[in-house]
């Protein structure tokens, strides 16, 4: 294993044989697992399986398609067989190996968007065991006593809480958390538990809120977050209260498609060789999974890139009465109206639509369509409403069929 690591690394960090397979499995009691949820919620489960959450940590031994890297040449200090888990499914993909029962991030990662290797922590990759630094947010049911988890990836119970009693009672609603029925701040805390930062209050060992469960007060489990924030000083005022954490949450939302800030725990930016910040287009994001269609965008869509994007034809599921797209749809489009000023500012300090403070760029755009639509419906709507043509669904079906047939032949 890992035979091609530089000699100096082997001298400093000698490798020993891996422990029995999947030694990291275990975790806290009370969880049922996403596969169990699928028995009663197959439609929701099917959508979740396609999201980045589901593929945040994928067991490479179970899933033959987990590893996206394709070029394991002599310059890569590990082989495909050394990879136990793949981390991530869009901008980049990191890889974990297991040494003495502990998972570590290997010192190269795969740039998915550009399909090439980039260096990562070449000298200190053994200094940050994944179990300690990352498991709390990339798995379900992390147990600090054993540093094991119940399920890899961001599964159903990461947002809905432990579900074993919910299953055992035949689906009793009081035994599961529905974020949509929580107080708005408590619902946001579920996301903030991983998309803002701090240390666990109990031991101040882990950079995530150990023991926190959806619906609880995040402040009981999380210390104040890390300051100052690189590249984001305009967002933070130093008040260190819940409103400050909310500002951090909005800041990280704006960076979803960005080439820079991805995780403040490891200080990781997406693409070490990316010198200037840029934002991935919605279509590029889709293309990290749908590579063939993205590479042949015009043949697949019948439109020039830049004129039409993937979500113009494949509309994400809508939420909040059509004002934004749902995160439960794997298309993961964050289009929505900008948040009200009072989300970041104390009520009374701002009035109406005017704001005396510099307004950050949320990188949001309004939802385009008046309702959820099929591809045929979007085709008709765009050509009639935007281009002022007179088209019907029969024309749209014929046009789509011609494009699809031509794409398949070519």
Specify whether 17 is located in the same domain as 148: yes
| Residue 143 Cα distances to 26, 140, 146, 183, angstroms | 8, 9, 6, 27
Q: Which residues contact 347 (CB under 8 A, 6 or more apart)?
A: none
Boundary of a domain, candidates 231, 253, 280: 280
pLDDT at 138: 93
Is the preceding peptide bond at 228 cis, omega within 30 degrees of 0?
A: yes
CA angle in degrees (0–180, nearest 5) for 224-228-234: 110
Question: HSE-up of 268 (CA within 13 Å, CB side)?
Answer: 21
Q: Is residue 167 part of a domain?
A: no
Question: Is the C-alpha dihedral spanning 208, 237, 262, 242 positive or negative?
Answer: positive
Clarify whether residues 4 and 148 are in a common domain: yes
H helices of 232-341, in order, are: 242-254, 282-287, 291-295, 297-301, 310-313
User: CA 400, CA 407: separation in Å to the nearest integer?
Assistant: 10
Q: Answer yes or no: do 7 and 140 share one domain.
A: yes
Q: Which domain holds residue 85?
A: 1-156
Q: What angle do CA 254, 141, 203 make, to 5 degrees?
A: 80
For residues 181 and 255, membership in a common domain is answered with: yes
Alpha helices in 255-386 (DSSP H): 282-287, 291-295, 297-301, 310-313, 375-381
Please indicate, yes or no, if residue 135 is contained in any of the structural domains: yes
Residue matched to tokens 């979500």: 311
Map residue 24 onto helix, strand or coil. Answer: coil
Residue 198 lies in a domain: yes
Please indicate, yes or no, if residue 166 is contained in any of the structural domains. Answer: no
- Residue 373 phi, psi dihedral angles, 5° rounding: -135, 155
Same-domain pairing of 101 and 205: no
Residue 108 β-bridge partners: 119
236, 234, 170, 171: which is closest to 197 by C-alpha? 236
Does residue 8 sit in the same domain as residue 136?
yes
24 neighbors 59 (Cβ within 8 angstroms): no
Residue 177: Cβ within 10 Å count: 23
Coil, helix or strand at residue 109: strand
Helices (H), 255-392: 282-287, 291-295, 297-301, 310-313, 375-381
pLDDT value, residue 337: 78
User: How far apart (Å, rounded) are the C-alpha atoms in residues 368 and 377?
Assistant: 13
- 70, 95 contact by CB (below 8 A): no
Give the pLDDT confidence score for residue 386 in this predicted structure.
86
Question: Any idea what the Cα angle at residue 247 is, between residues 312 and 179, rounded to 5°?
Answer: 65
What's residue 103's pLDDT?
92
Q: Is 162 a member of any domain?
A: no
Dist CA 129 CA 100 (whole Å): 11
| CA 304 centroid distance within chain | 28
Residue 161 located in a structural domain: no
Query: Does residue 33 fall inside a structural domain?
Result: yes
CB-based contacts of 156, cutoff 8 Å, min separation 6: 34, 37, 41, 45, 48, 163
Q: Single out the residue in 229, 255, 280 at which a domain terminates.
A: 280
**Among residues 280, 296, 323, which one ends one of the domains?**
280
Question: Do 34 and 145 share a domain, yes or no?
Answer: yes
Angle at 135 between CA 259 and CA 187, to 5 degrees: 75
Asked if the structure places residue 172 within a domain, the reply is no
Q: Is 2 helix (H, G, I), strand (E, B) or coil?
A: coil
pLDDT in tens, the chain (410 residues): 454 444 333 333 333 333 334 557 889 999 999 999 999 999 999 989 988 899 999 999 999 889 999 999 888 989 999 999 999 887 789 999 999 889 999 988 898 877 889 877 666 778 889 999 899 999 999 999 999 999 999 999 999 999 999 999 999 999 999 999 999 899 999 999 998 888 999 888 999 999 999 999 999 999 877 665 555 556 666 677 888 888 888 888 887 787 776 676 665 555 555 667 778 888 888 887 888 888 899 999 999 988 899 989 999 888 888 888 887 788 777 777 777 777 777 777 766 555 566 667 777 778 888 899 999 999 999 999 988 999 999 999 999 999 888 776 55
The number of distinct structural domains making up the chain is 3
3 and 125: one domain?
yes
Question: Same domain, yes or no, for 148 and 198?
Answer: no
Residues 10 and 150 in one domain: yes
Same domain, 4 and 119: yes
- pTM of the full predicted structure? 0.83
Q: Return the pLDDT at 256.
A: 79
User: Measuring CA to CA, which residue among 46, 44, 40, 48 is closest to residue 169?
Assistant: 40
Judge if 149 and 191 occupy the same domain.
Answer: no
């Amino acid at each position: 294993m890992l035979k091609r690591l530089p000699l100096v690394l082997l001298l400093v960090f000698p490798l020993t044989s891996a422990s029995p397979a999947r030694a990291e499995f275990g975790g806290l009691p009370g969880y049922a697992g996403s596969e169990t949820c699928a028995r009663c919620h197959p439609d929701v489960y099917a959508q979740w399986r396609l999201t980045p959450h589901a593929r945040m940590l994928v067991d490479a031994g179970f899933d033959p398609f987990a590893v996206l890297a394709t070029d394991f040449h002599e310059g890569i200090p590990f082989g495909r067989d050394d990879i136990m888990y793949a981390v991530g499914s869009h901008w980049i993909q990191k890889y974990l190996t297991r040494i003495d029962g502990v998972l570590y991030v290997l010192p190269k990662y795969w740039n998915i968007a550009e399909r090439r290797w980039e260096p990562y922590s070449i000298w200190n990759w053994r200094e940050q065991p994944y179990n300690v630094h990352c498991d709390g947010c990339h798995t379900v049911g992390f147990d600090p006593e054993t540093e094991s988890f119940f399920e890899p990836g961001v599964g159903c119970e990461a947002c809905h809480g432990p579900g074993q009693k919910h299953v055992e009672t035949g689906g009793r609603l009081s035994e599961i958390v529905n974020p949509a029925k929580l107080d708005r701040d408590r619902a946001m805390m579920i996301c903030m538990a991983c998309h803002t930062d701090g240390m666990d209050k109990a031991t101040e060992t882990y950079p995530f809120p150990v023991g926190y469960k959806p619906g609880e007060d995040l402040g009981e489990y999380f210390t104040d977050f890390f300051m100052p924030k690189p590249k984001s000083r305009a967002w933070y005022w130093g008040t260190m209260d819940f409103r400050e954490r909310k500002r951090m949450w909005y800041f990280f939302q704006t960076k979803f498609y960005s080439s820079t800030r991805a995780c403040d725990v490891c200080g990781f930016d997406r693409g070490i060789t990316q010198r200037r910040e840029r934002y991935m287009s919605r279509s590029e994001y889709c293309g990290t999974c749908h590579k063939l269609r993205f590479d042949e965008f015009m043949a697949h869509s019948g439109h020039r890139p830049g004129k039409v994007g993937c979500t113009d034809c494949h509309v994400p599921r809508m939420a909040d009465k059509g004002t934004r797209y749902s995160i439960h749809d794997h298309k993961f489009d964050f289009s929505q109206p900008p948040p009200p000023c009072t989300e970041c500012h104390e009520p009374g300090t701002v009035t109406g639509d005017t704001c005396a403070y510099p307004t950050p760029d949320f990188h949001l755009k309004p939802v385009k369509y008046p309702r959820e639509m099929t591809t045929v419906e979007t085709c008709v709507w765009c050509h009639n409403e935007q281009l002022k043509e007179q088209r019907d669904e029969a024309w749209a079906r014929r046009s789509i069929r011609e494009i699809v047939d031509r794409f398949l032949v070519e």
